[in-house]
Structure 1
Amino acid sequence: MNHLKYKKVILWIMLLLPWLSLPFLGKQALKRFFPAGLFISTLVFFENMVAKKRKWWVYHETIHPKVTGDFPMIWGPFLIGSMWILRLTYGRFYLYMLLNIAVDSFFTYPLVTIFQKLGISSLIKLKRYQLSLLFFFKSALLYAFQLMVEKMKRTAAQKQQDPLQD
């Protein structure tokens, strides 16, 4: 297998493998945490546009010429991983942040190094600690979004129980 195809296979696996875990997430958890996962993944999609313009990082490889290089990362491990982390830790903020720091550190340090060595992506103007801070901020934002969703659901349920309450 030539070197170029090897990188594409890695990206395809990175995109598809997390989706195979969805049946284990559970229907209720998927329904509960999908909006937050979609929110943060969409935010990261736009963040990558800014990153490309400001040359924070670059993707050298993609799964298809018409698909951005960040697509497998955002719509694979980031989307599905966000929902899994929420499912496993929501309601226990310190555990949530601890797990996020561990996962984000794994990405920021060993995985970024591997991607750079393989020629998949590289950090350019962004230092690893800055990338870690970005991840930390997005983790807090994801949790805050889920808190807001939960509050809106409770409010809607209360109004449904007592429609005269306003």
Structure 2
Amino acid sequence: MKNNKLLIMLMTILPWLSIPLLGLKTFKRYLPGVIFMSLYLLAEGRLAEKRKWWWFPYHVKPNVLGELPLILGPFFIGSIWIMKYTFGKFKLYIFVNLIIDSLFTFFTLDIFKKMGYVTLVRLSKFQLSIVFLLKTFVLYGFQLFYESILTKRVKTVDE
């Protein structure tokens, strides 16, 4: 498990090294949506824990969700990268998310299971894919909502 701890730590930290490549403007633009989704994922994690949808035998610390490294690492930064290249192109956004979520569900999840990091309990891989698809719509919808509010503020200030 010691090697697994190192891998999980790297999984959390390495995506953050790509922030300079994103650009500060892009990071700031999509940060509110990604923070909202990260909080959504934390709430979903608590619900999943209670309903036993999946199980994380690995814990960062007691009383901390096991999926926290996934949320703070690949999901957080990966979402900003996806939004940077696909926001405003809804079909492309859905397509890219379907590919990435499918790769995670049908390949990466098996690797994590072998590592002892996570396993599905009451959810099938197909059901997990549906959960991911719903989150895809929520993130895009929130970002549209956020930007429409921001745009209205800018117009009001300029007038």
Paired with 1:55 and 1:64, the residues of 2 have a C-alpha distance of 19
2:68 to 51, 68, 71: 71
Q: Is the 8 A contact 2:54 2:122 kept in 1?
A: yes
Q: Is the 8 A contact 2:46 2:65 kept in 1?
A: no
Q: Which residue of 2 aligns with 1:25?
A: 22
Structure 1, unpaired ranges of 5+: none
Q: Which residue of 1 aligns with 2:89?
A: 92
TM-score by length of 1: 0.93
Task: Name the amino acid aligned to 1:67.
Answer: V
TM-score by length of 2: 0.97
TM-superposed deviation, 1:100: 0.4
Paired with 1:139 and 1:89, the residues of 2 have a C-alpha distance of 12
Aligned residues: 159
Q: Which residue of 2 aligns with 1:126?
A: 123
Q: Which residue of 2 aligns with 1:137?
A: 134
Structure 2, unpaired ranges of 5+: none
Structure 1 stretches (4+) deviating beyond 2 angstroms?
62-68
Structure of larger gyration radius: 1
Q: Using the aligned pairs only, state the percent identity.
A: 40
Paired with 2:109 and 2:38, the residues of 1 have a C-alpha distance of 19
Q: Is the 8 A contact 1:85 1:96 kept in 2?
A: yes
Secondary structure (helix, strand or coil) at the match of 1:159 reads helix
1:110 to 70, 91, 107: 107
Q: Is the 8 A contact 1:29 1:87 kept in 2?
A: yes
